[in-house]
Structures are given as C-alpha cells and as structure tokens.
Amino acid sequence: MVKKLYVQTVVIDKKVGIAAATKTFNKLMQNRHYKKGYRETEDSFRFKNIDKNKFDPTSYRSKKINEDVTLVFGHLKEEYEEEKTGEN
C-alpha cells in the first residue's frame, strides 16, 4: 500500500506580509485542517495544518513551490491515517 502524504505546515516568507501570507495559505489549503493562527519566526510565517504529533517523525519532507512558499509534509501515523479515510 502506498501511504498518502499530508501537508503538516506551510512556511511563507515574511517579506510578503501577514495579509498576503494568510491569503496564500487559505488558497493552498482551502481551510481543510487549519488550526487558527500561525507561528512567526525571524524569516517566516508558519501555518500549521495538522498537529505534528500525528506524523511519523521520520517521514517529513519539504518542497519549495515558489520563491516564498515551502510545504512541509509527511506520512500520518497509522492510527491517524484512518481518520482521513473518505476525505476528498
């Protein structure tokens, strides 16, 4: 069985500003699992999509989709994978 990847966090460069970052996040994720709020680092806004404790910690990967946006994704732990069954 091929395990499905899920986005855990969307990292957006701070130079775009919080309003544009929020708009980009909402467009990408369509508010599927979004936990309200974001974490601000020195260089970025980090929008958490699914709690990190639900992921296999050895499965994380990142993909830079443009100059300002990076997706962090991985495989859910088996017990949480079942929660997502039937989700579009």
> Whole-prediction pTM value?
0.84
Strand order, beta sheet including 5-13: 39-40, 44-48, 5-13, 69-75, 61-64
Using only C-alpha atoms, what is the Rg of the chain?
Answer: 13
Answer whether residue 52 shows pLDDT above 60: yes
pLDDT at 88: 43
Using one digit for the tens of pLDDT, what is the confidence trace for 2-19?
788 999 999 999 999 999
